[in-house]
Structure 1
Amino acid sequence: MAGRGLPPGARDLPPGRGGAGLGPVAAVVGAEAVLVAAAGFGLHLVWPVWGAVAVVAVWVVVLAAPLGAGRVYGYREPDSAERVRLAQAWRDVQRRAGAGAYRLVVVDSEELNACMPFGRTVAVTSASARSLPPGRLEAVLAHELGHLLGWRAVPAFVHAQVTLPARALLRALRRSWSPVGPMWRRAVAWHRPIGFVLVFLLALAAAAVTVVAAVPTGAAYAAAWGARLLSRRGEGRADTVAVRLGFGAELVAVVEDRIEHAGEGLPLHLVRRAQGLRRRLG
């Protein structure tokens, strides 16, 4: 809660640490800009002016993709009851982290952790928002914020960048082939050459779309998978942030409570996480 002192052994993050995630993200954007400039120049030689414009336009769409990431993951604004429960805890976590302005959203889930964050948006699950006592809620929020501090923001940013374009490309591939099957059935029913000609033309168009979109679709999904893998490995580092902010004991209590009430089967990932938190506290 606001104003309470740090527990023994805990300390605030260095001043400005909360905004340090902007530096690594800016470096990623700068590297992308260099690659885009090189690709644009190469395409300009093949397709004057419009080649470069096409590359830059695609990059702008990718940069804007995190703005729509909330729709993909089902994020929403907290309702009135959630806002009351979250407000003080979230202020305390941001104050203790020395973090700047972050948007807090809710994802409807019974899980402990929310989906991958993006940009300067931190998500908390509805189960945590409505049921955790204040101290434990702060611990969970500190963990979620920990994903976006320093270089940890890079995997989240990259994942948000490529998720929407990857899904859009895959949808385009599916839709390009979707008329072929029904047209084939019609052609068989018609028993006329025109039906098979239409099937051939549709398949030709779909093949052209596949040739154009297959490589970027595969690259986008590979980048999303890599970013998600790095994010999963970053769970421990986000826990470290929570411990350094003084929320380690409360976070251990949350995780161990989930283990105790897990029902059938032992959640090994939570057991390993609790063990890691105990080591960090030690």
Structure 2
Amino acid sequence: MPVGAVVGGEGAVVAVVAIGLHLVWPLWGAGAAIAVWAVLLTAPLAASRAYGYREPEEAERVRLEPAWRNVQRQAGTDGHRLVVVESDELNACTPSWRTVAVTSHAARSLPPGRLEAVLAHELGHVLGVRAVPAFVHAQVTLPSRVLVWALRGLWRPVAPMWKRAVAWHRPIGFLAVLLLAAFASVATAVLALPTGAAFAAAWCARLPRGRAEARADAAAVRLGFGAELVAAVEHRIENAPHGLPMPLVRRAQGLRRRLG
């Protein structure tokens, strides 16, 4: 289903809910419903900053588009947007139910069959009822990532400004560093409590992550990409730089069991 149609359908539902809330809670009820919907709509924009998602580059697009079309055709869907996240991992997180992410490692280096299998796994996170836990997980973990991104943005200019101040060797440069560091310190102190709460919520949300990965693997197997997916996982295990990655080993074992 096209994204425009989905958003239009959501808008109609939100309008009905807003009218109902307005009857119970005049003015503020309708405003609350619209505000919540606006937050949910703009969450992918915040996620693109916090997670580092971007549109595929031209070379990546050439490799991704045919594979993505084939995977969506096998799944009977065409309403999902594909983005890339800079990572050397095999799989990426899911930012929302309409957006599927693939790592730059997979987009650039996997053979076509294995790339399709990885894309089928990522799509498996948001197919059918699995879209609900994926969406909830994204919404719960997003605040911690946004806060970390904001804090890094506050502190990032301090070191370059210090180097410039040393090079200039002028009081005005050191004063600018002091003011910038003081502002960043105050902002960090203000954000410390919500950041801690966001990290606690994100940690709790990651506890069932293994089951979500297993369900996405099962969806890829049902779509006919199981053999290529287990090959991609086992290749990752064989080339692991730091010891034996047990989560991937268990994942490969589960895939083998599903393939019989």
Instruction: Give yes or no for TM over 0.5.
Output: yes
Q: In the alignment, is residue 60 of structure 1 matched against residue 13 of structure 2?
A: no
Q: 1:104, 1:121 within 8 Å by CA — same for their partners in 2?
A: yes
User: Which structure has the larger Rg?
Assistant: 1
Counterpart selection for 2:227 from 249, 255, 278:
249
Q: Would you say the 8 A contact 2:51–2:145 is kept in 1?
A: no
1:140 Cα offset (Å): 0.3
Instruction: Sort the Cα spacing of 1:57 and 1:106 in 2 relative to 1 into closer, same or farther, 3 A.
Output: same
Which of 131, 149, 161 is matched with 1:153 structurally? 131
**Could you tell me how far apart the structure 1 residues matched to 2:148 and 2:35 are?**
16
Question: Any gaps of 5 or more consecutive residues in structure 2?
Answer: 151-185
- Superposed CA offset, 1:84-111 (max 9, x none): 0111111110111111221111001000
1:163 to 1:256, Cα distance in 2 relative to 1, 3 A:
closer
Amino acid at match of 1:261: N
2:105 is the counterpart of 1:127: yes
Matches within 5 A, 1:152-231: 152-164=130-142, 218=197, 224-231=202-209
Q: Which residue identity lines up with residue 277 of structure 1 in the other structure? A: L
Indicate the residue corresponding to 1:104 in structure 2. Answer: 82
Q: Give CA deviations for 1:104-136 in whole Å, capped at 9, x if unaligned.
A: 110010000112231311100000000000000
Post-superposition Cα deviations, 1:39-88, rounded to whole Å, max 9, x if no partner, equal: x96xx5xxx855x4674465234323423222211100001100001111
1:106 alignment partner, SS class: strand
Flag structure 1 segments of 5+ consecutive residues without an equivalent.
Answer: 1-15, 173-202, 204-208
Aligned sequence identity (%): 63
Residue-by-residue CA offset, 1:249-268 (whole Å, 9 max, x unaligned)? 11111000111010221100
Q: Which residue matches 1:10?
A: none
8 Å contact kept, 2:140–2:205:
no
Q: What is the rounded CA distance, in whole Å, between the counterparts of 2:42 and 2:81 in structure 1? A: 17
Relative to structure 1, the CA distance from residue 171 to residue 73 in structure 2 (aligned partners, 3 Å threshold; closer, same or farther) is closer
Name the count of aligned residue pairs: 213
Q: Does 2:201 correspond to 1:239?
A: no
Structure with the larger RCO, 1 or 2 (CA within 8 Å, 6+ apart): 1
- Listed one character per residue, the Cα deviations across residues 120-155 of structure 1 (whole Å, up to 9, x for unaligned) are 111000000000000000000000000000111112
Letter of the 1:142 partner, please give it. Answer: A
- 1:232 CA displacement: 3.7
Which of 211, 236, 247 aligns to 1:269? It is: 247
Partners of 1:56 and 1:168 in 2: CA distance: 23
Deviation at 1:279, TM superposition (A): 0.3
Contact 1:156 1:231 in 2 (8 A): no
Contact in 1 for aligned 2:80/2:99 (Cα 8 Å): yes
Q: What amino acid sits opposite 1:263 in the alignment? A: P
Contact 2:49 2:146 in 1 (8 A): no
Q: What residue is the counterpart of 1:94 in the other structure?
A: 72
What is the one-letter code of the residue matched to 1:108?
E
Quote the Cα distance in structure 2 between the aligned partners of 1:167 and 1:261.
29
Q: CA deviation at 1:237?
A: 0.6
Structure 1 residue 168: deviation in Å? 6.7
RMSD, aligned α-carbons: 4.0
